[in-house]
Amino acid sequence: MGVTVALYAMRHPEHTARIVQIGSMAPDPAKTYPAHLTNLDGTLAEVMAKLAQLQKERPSQDAKQFCRKFWSILCEIYVANPAAARKLNWDPCDLPNEINFPKQWNALVLPSLQNLNLTPQDFAKAQSPILAIHGRKDRSSPYGASRDWAQSLPNARLLTLDEAAHVPWIEYPDQFRSALETFLNGEWPVASEKVGSLDNQSG
């Protein structure tokens, strides 16, 4: 969704006022980032191994049962501390579009994103203020992705939550809510930065 809102801002600048990206994928999904801009840790490896095993067991399970097991495993990567995964309480498997989400993602959504070829001229079309919020310990989308967006978009800043992962509103609700309210009320959060390079924290 972080990619979607940015693409909308590029295509329809007249219909956008202020945009928030949260844990967005990169402008170029094929791009790889150095280790300090990602969080490819042991938890991610363990979760991927569990999902691979679950996939082998899929023929013996109905779709809803498989979906619930899938999300119960996957949610561990969305929080910095896997023990906090229970706070998510996600059970989207009664929704028809979620039951077969992995298939839809691999067959439709991901190929569409991979076909993006954004240019500086494309980024320049998004004139609205855009706040990228990203947890430095995100395993689902690399932290470097939001640094990339904030560096590429003409009127964007990045708010880094050092101890958060992919769902900062769960892990740091007060800090997240305060930043969101400040931005939507017309100001940049104090801790947000104008990014001048991928590596330098001060931009």
Percent with pLDDT over 90 in the chain = 69
**Tens of pLDDT along 24-73?**
999 998 899 999 999 999 999 999 999 999 989 888 888 888 888 988 99
The verdict on residue 101 lying in a domain is: yes
List the domain range (segments joined by +) for residue 64. Answer: 42-114
Same domain, 131 and 178: yes
Say if residue 145 is in the same domain as residue 176. yes
Q: Return the DSSP state at 107.
A: I
**93/47 same-domain check:** yes
In a domain, 195, yes or no: no
Q: Are residues 52 and 34 in the same domain?
A: no
- Pairing between β-strand 130-135 and β-strand 19-22 as defined by DSSP bridges: parallel
**Residues 69, 107 within the same domain:** yes
Which of 114, 142, 168 is at the close of a domain? 114
DSSP structural state of residue 109: I
Q: State how far the Cα of 116 lies from the Cα of 113, in Å rounded to an integer.
A: 5
User: Which pTM value belongs to this model?
Assistant: 0.90
Residues 164 and 175 in one domain: yes
Average pLDDT over residues 146-173: 96
Question: First CA to last CA across the chain, in angstroms?
Answer: 25
70 and 31 part of one domain: no
Does 165 fall in a domain?
yes
> Does residue 83 lie within any of the structural domains?
yes
Does 98 share its domain with 152? no
* Domain boundary, last residue among 58, 79, 114: 114
Which pLDDT band holds residue 203 (cuts at 50, 70, 90)?
Answer: very low
Tokens at 118, concatenated: 């954004």
pLDDT for 119-129, tens place per residue? 999 999 999 99
Domain count, the chain: 2
Are 33 and 129 in a shared domain?
yes
Instruction: Indicate which CATH number applies to the domain containing 155.
Output: 3.40.50.1820
153 and 130 fall within a common domain: yes
pLDDT at 202 exceeding the cut of 60:
no
Q: Is 146 helix (H, G, I), strand (E, B) or coil?
A: helix
DSSP type of residue 82: G
In a domain, 64, yes or no: yes
Residue 194 lies inside a defined structural domain of this protein: no
User: Are 132 and 165 members of one domain?
Assistant: yes
Boundary of a domain, candidates 76, 99, 114: 114
Q: Is residue 197 part of a domain?
A: no
The partner residues of 22 in beta bridges, in order of sequence, read 133
